């Protein structure tokens, strides 16, 4: 896609599927003990870092944001799609959700203790990853944890239908853990662990836990 067309297509696609998306993914974590364990470790590290706000970037309809709150994390959500944010606010009243893009993250420098991007980097083109990780580093306090979930692979496919059969137009980028870990290190993060797993989220998923270098 040229220019920022991919952003517009991603926003429109998720606006279209938001209601069915929330219904279809609602119980995935209940079937994913390894992913719940990763989120619990992330919550523990946020607490060890002194607590404070955590951004769930690409939060969708807010299920991970809400789960982190049950773990004692002061999490709030940001998503590109106004439709997804509207459903998140409806389904999780009292939690903070904002429309925004990880390509131009509208948060002050060093304003959050940690950041999670849970299967949301999958729509970011390779040539935008460096800028996205630079934003992540800018907004996370030194030493703060970062958790990424993503699809593992070497190919990019175009998703044309999903979540209730609605038409979509989004690129889905699958990447190797070592590739993302290298990009994170180059952006000023220390990678503490990386793993692959099979779960309802992905036929082959990856999880990387890192920290912002001081």
What pLDDT was estimated at residue 3? 58
120-159 pLDDT, tens digit per residue, is: 999 999 999 999 999 999 999 999 999 999 999 999 999 9
Phi, psi of 211 (to 5 degrees): -135, 145
Structural domains of the chain, with CATH: 5-212 (3.40.50.150)
Give the pLDDT score at 164. Answer: 86
The pLDDT value recorded for residue 1 is 42
pTM for this structure?
A: 0.95
- Is residue 187 within 8 A of residue 136, CB to CB? The reply is yes
Burial of residue 59 (number of CB atoms within 10 Å: 0-12, 13-18, 19+): buried
E-strand ranges in the chain read: 53-57, 74-79, 97-99, 114-118, 145-151, 156-162, 166-173, 189-199, 202-212
Segments of the chain scoring below 70 in pLDDT: 1-3
- Residue 33: predicted pLDDT: 94
């Amino acid at each position: 896609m040229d220019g920022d067309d991919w952003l517009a297509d991603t926003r429109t696609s998720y606006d279209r599927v938001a209601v069915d998306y929330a219904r279809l993914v609602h119980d995935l974590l209940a079937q994913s003990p390894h992913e719940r364990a990763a989120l619990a470790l992330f919550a523990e590290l946020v607490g060890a870092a002194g607590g404070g706000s955590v951004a769930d970037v690409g939060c969708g309809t807010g299920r991970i944001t809400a789960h982190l709150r049950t773990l004692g994390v002061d999490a709030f959500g940001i998503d590109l799609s106004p439709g997804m944010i509207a459903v998140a606010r409806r389904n999780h009243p009292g939690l903070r959700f904002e429309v925004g893009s990880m390509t131009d993250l509208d948060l002050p420098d060093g304003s959050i203790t940690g950041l999670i991007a849970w299967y949301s980097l999958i729509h970011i083109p390779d040539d935008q990853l460096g800028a996205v990780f630079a934003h992540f580093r800018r907004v996370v306090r030194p030493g703060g944890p970062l958790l990424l979930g993503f699809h593992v692979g070497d190919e990019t496919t175009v998703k044309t239908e999903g979540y209730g059969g609605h038409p979509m137009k989004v690129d889905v980028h699958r990447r190797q853990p070592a590739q993302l870990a290298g990009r994170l290190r180059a952006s000023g993060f220390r990678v503490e662990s990386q793993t692959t797993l099979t779960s309802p989220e992905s036929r082959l998923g990856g999880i990387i836990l890192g920290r912002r270098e001081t």
